Amino acid sequence: MPVIVQKYGGSTLSTIDKIKKVAETVINKKEEGNSIVVVVSAIGDTTDRLIALANKVSDDPDKRELDVILSTGEMISASLLAMTIKEMGCDAISYSAYQIGIRTSGDYGECLIEDLDSKKIKRGLRKDKIVIVAGFQGINSIGDITTLGRGGSDTTAVAIAVKLGVSCEIYTYADGIYNIDPREYKNAKRLKEIDYEEMLELTNLGAQLIHPRSIELGQKYKVPIYIGLSCSDKEGTIVREVNSMNLESKPVTGIATSDEDVAVTIKYIYGDINILSNLFEAIGSRKINIDMISQTAPIDGKVNVSFTIPKDALEQCLNIIGDFAEKENVYIDKDIDKFSVVGIGMKKTSGVAAKMFKLFGDNGIEVKMITTSEIRITCAIKQCDKQKAIELVANNFNL
């Protein structure tokens, strides 16, 4: 029988009625002649509640112990779904990461999957069971329970699909990937398919339907990933390698925006590459993600450097910058929206940036910072201009 790996998010399992609906959907898929592996997230807001509980006993919970408590959410989901499926007359078995040997490396709270042992999964399938796996978790080299970071269940599901040599289906609260967030643009269109590179850019730029590392894993091993609405026949989106022959007519696939960053500018800092390297290394060592970076030309050996970081990392970042620059030379701009256009078609189409910036200039939208890649153009604009920018780009690039 063909094997299908499915993943169900926490919002799709948030009540007993929803768990029963998922169980019915999984059983129906099995009765169509498929062997089913299901990966589950923690029910509803369980992870948030467990973090809040840990914070009641410690202002800075031990990371090892925090991973232990957070891993329980997915195990509860897996066990409840297995019980529900059995109650409906179909055999099922649930496994934790420890039981199927999901081996991880890295720091507690954000580990990477190194490998997993698929023997128990295959054995369960041979016994005609629906196999249910707790996502988001693993075991490190010394036997400690670890977690993969928020959204890590997606990565668990894709990793299992890789091992079994099959595609992966991610079911969530949305009916697929849209070219623009439908909450921000009423004429947004659902995409039937999207290239791995484009999806990875969009997830890193604000789209939150799927974990970026799951896309990286899918791309590496050429595993197609379907993203769709839980327990629905509505068509979703397939993430896979897209035939580039069809791309030249539409260089831009989608728009992503984010209001979650601030811009930090340091004026009159020495332009010595070693100083700048030490600054960014110190910031990076605190796990602070720097995105956009710009630098002025040197004047008397000094430069102005600007970069964006997440808002919640600002205070920590300022403490680090204090070792490199005077306080009066540090400026913070909280009024920014990271506005990005993404499209693999840009690899073969020139003039996209020029067209976009002309649109902005003609319509009074100030561009504060710019960064680009082969398939992405990102600029920092004022938050009040975000909606205007979305409509301008959507209309002029046929989105």
CATH code of the domain containing 136: 3.40.1160.10
pLDDT (average), residues 152-172: 94
Could you tell me which of 226, 258, 205, 151 has the C-alpha nearest to residue 375? 205
Q: What is the pTM of this model?
A: 0.86
What's the pLDDT band for 246 if we cut at 50, 70, 90? Answer: low
Given 173, 190, 207, which residue is the final one in a domain? 173
**Structural domain contains residue 125:** yes
pLDDT (average), residues 328-339: 90
Quick check: 272 and 241 in contact, CB under 8 A?
Answer: no
pLDDT (average), residues 325-349: 87
What's the pLDDT band for 249 if we cut at 50, 70, 90? Answer: low
**Structural domain contains residue 318:** yes
pLDDT of residue 247: 46
Could you tell me which of 370, 305, 368 has the C-alpha nearest to residue 333? 368
**Structural domain contains residue 351:** no
Helical spans, DSSP H, in the chain: 16-31, 46-57, 63-87, 97-100, 119-126, 152-164, 196-204, 212-221, 273-285, 314-321, 352-362, 386-396
User: β-pairing, 254-258 with 337-342?
Assistant: antiparallel
How many angstroms separate the CA atoms of 212 and 202, rounded?
Answer: 9
- Lay out the sheet containing 35-40: strands in order across: 92-95, 130-134, 35-40, 3-8, 168-172, 225-229, 237-240, 193-195
pLDDT of residue 145: 94
How many angstroms separate the CA atoms of 306 and 321, rounded?
Answer: 12
Mean pLDDT of the chain: 90
How many angstroms separate the CA atoms of 275 and 278, rounded?
Answer: 5
Same-domain status, 23 and 157? yes
pLDDT of residue 7: 95
**pLDDT tens-digit map of 353-379:** 889 999 999 999 999 888 888 889 999
Q: Indicate the SS3 state at residue 70.
A: helix
**pLDDT tens-digit map of 300-313:** 888 888 889 889 88
Q: Is 327's pLDDT higher than 90? A: no
pLDDT (average), residues 101-111: 91
Given 285, 311, 333, which residue is the final one in a domain? 333
**Structural domain contains residue 310:** yes
Higher pLDDT, 317 or 348: 317
pLDDT of residue 244: 54
Taking the CB of residue 264, how many other CB atoms lie within 10 A of it? 20
**Structural domain contains residue 354:** no
What is the total count of domains within the chain? 2
| Structural domain for 112, as ranges | 3-173
Same-domain status, 166 and 270? no
pLDDT of residue 241: 86
Given 140, 173, 206, which residue is the final one in a domain? 173
**pLDDT tens-digit map of 46-70:** 988 999 999 999 988 999 999 999 9
- DSSP 8-state code for residue 190: B
- DSSP 8-state code for residue 3: E
What's the pLDDT band for 211 if we cut at 50, 70, 90? Answer: confident
**pLDDT tens-digit map of 261-283:** 999 998 888 777 788 888 888 88
CATH code of the domain containing 322: 3.30.70.260
